Amino acid sequence: MMNLRRKDREINEINELLQVIDQCKICRIAMQDNEGLYIVPMNFGYIYENKQLVLYFHSAKEGRKISALKENSNVCFEMDCENRLTAGDKACKYSYSFKSIIGNGTAVFFR
């Protein structure tokens, strides 16, 4: 889990987390290679078994992303949904609400 400034907004119940994941359409995968940090938006699937979340991504077999992951399999991921602007009567009264999940993991290649 990440440390949140607003603990009152943190979701700790796994079924709630899975409901958020079910609503998300894109997952962003961040990685690092010798050129620097790199982030890629991707479609995804997932399973949750034995108290472990496994994300699945379909990808080409070559390119910067694959090269980076072969060099360093550590990743960070982010997904968000229920995005909406909350209007205000002044610029500083505007806000934006959303649900998001951020985590860390290790990339593993399958066929």
The dihedral formed by the CA atoms of 39, 28, 4 and 23, expressed in degrees to the nearest 10: 170
Is 7-104 a CATH 3.40.605.10 domain?
A: no
Q: Note the pLDDT of residue 94.
A: 92
pLDDT at 81 over 50: yes
What does the pLDDT look like over 57-66, one tens digit per residue?
Answer: 999 999 999 9
Which has the closest alpha carbon to 61: 11, 110, 9? 110
Question: Which bin fits 63, alpha (ψ -120 to 50), beta or left (φ > 0)?
Answer: left
Using the predicted structure, report yes or no on whether residue 67 has a pLDDT greater than 60: yes
pLDDT at 3 (0 to 100)? 61
Percent with pLDDT over 70 in the chain: 92
Q: What is the pLDDT of residue 1?
A: 44
* Residue 5 pLDDT > 70: no
Least confident segment among 14-18, 31-35, 95-99, 103-107: 95-99
Q: Looking at the predicted structure, is the pLDDT value of residue 87 above 50?
A: yes
Say whether pLDDT at 14 is over 60.
yes
Indicate the pTM of the whole model.
0.83
